[in-house]
Chain A
Amino acid sequence: NAGVTQTPKFQVLKTGQSMTLQCAQDMNHNSMYWYRQDPGMGLRLIYYSASEGTTDKGEVPNGYNVSRLNKREFSLRLESAAPSQTSVYFCASSERSNQPQHFGDGTRLSIL
């Protein structure tokens, strides 16, 4: 029972490079989310998708784009990576947007 799977688990980029973080869930959930977590901080919502075919900005969307490829998959893209985007990125899903969220184990991203 995989739940929410994120790839890659670790990545190092140079400033200006682009990167797509992948997320897939096998729980047939409608809603999916991308968060970032900086050291010693709580999670901040980047983008979310309440249902297949819809996406919306969260608290910190600048510098990111998302694609809800289908019901299972929700990707996060950094078009031109900056050191300020060094963080741990978590993907989550929920049956509906007001239901408890299930999280993946995160992608640790370092931008030099």
Chain B
Amino acid sequence: LAKTTQPISMDSYEGQEVNITCSHNNIATNDYITWYQQFPSQGPRFIIQGYKTKVTNEVASLFIPADRKSSTLSLPRVSLSDTAVYYCLVGDTDNQGGKLIFGQGTELSVKP
């Protein structure tokens, strides 16, 4: 299972774009990259998932370079409500039980 490395914490201000990078040097061919967001006292919430290049939804964008050894979650124009912990996970796409490893995540603090 591919292990991921993320910054422990990041600070930002309202209205700024925030980019959180995740390293996954031993990502396997079948692995997808998935990001979750977790607020205090709540379960994680799915944000975005991708395999290569760029994926965009109404919440965020995910940039994946050609070698797929890292990925960057981009949050446009953050607000105070984006203060949360963000987890990057790498897991296989085969039906092998969904064994995903959550690291410590990145604690994002958005200030006014």
Q: Does B71 contact A (CB under 8 A)?
A: no
What's the Cα separation between A45 and B94 when bound, in Å?
18
| Contact (A103, B44) CB under 8 Å given A42-B103, A42-B104, A98-B32 | yes
Contact A97:B43 (CB < 8 A) given known A41-B104, A42-B87: no
Known: A98-B91, A98-B94. A45 touches B43 (CB 8 A): no
B43 with A103: CB separation less than 8 A? yes
The 8 Å CB contact of B43, one of A41, A56, A90, A100, is A90
- Other-chain residue from B41, B44, B92 in contact with A98 (beta carbon distance below 8 A): B92
Known contacts A41-B104, A42-B87, A98-B91: A58-B46 contact under CB 8 Å: no
User: Do B87 and A97 have beta carbons less than 8 Å apart?
Assistant: no
Cβ of A25 < 8 Å from any Cβ of B?
no
Does A71 make an interface contact (CB < 8 A)? no
Q: Which of B41-97 contact A (CB under 8 A)?
A: 41-46, 49, 87, 91-97
**Residues of A with C-beta under 8 A to B101:** 42, 45, 59
Asked whether any CB of chain A lies closer than 8 Å to the CB of B13, the reply is: no
Q: How many whole Å from A99's CB to the nearest CB in chain B?
A: 8
Q: A47: nearest residue on chain B (CB-CB)?
A: B97
Task: Return the chain A residue nearest B30 by Cβ.
Answer: A98
Q: How far is the CB of B64 from chain A (nearest CB, A)?
A: 16
Q: Which of A44, A56, A100 has the most CB of B within 10 A?
A: A100
**Residues of A contacting B45 with CB < 8 Å?**
103
Q: Which residue of A lies closest to B48 (CB)?
A: A100
Cβ of B34: which chain A residues have Cβ within 8 Å of it? 100
| Complex contact A98–B43 (CB within 8 A) | no
Please name all residues of chain A whose beta carbon is closer than 8 Å to the beta carbon of B94 when the two chains form the complex. 98
Q: Across the interface, do A58 and B95 meet the contact criterion of CB distance under 8 Å?
A: no
* Cβ–Cβ contact B96 & A97, under 8 A: yes
Interface residues of B (CB under 8 A from A): 32, 34, 41-46, 49, 87, 91-105
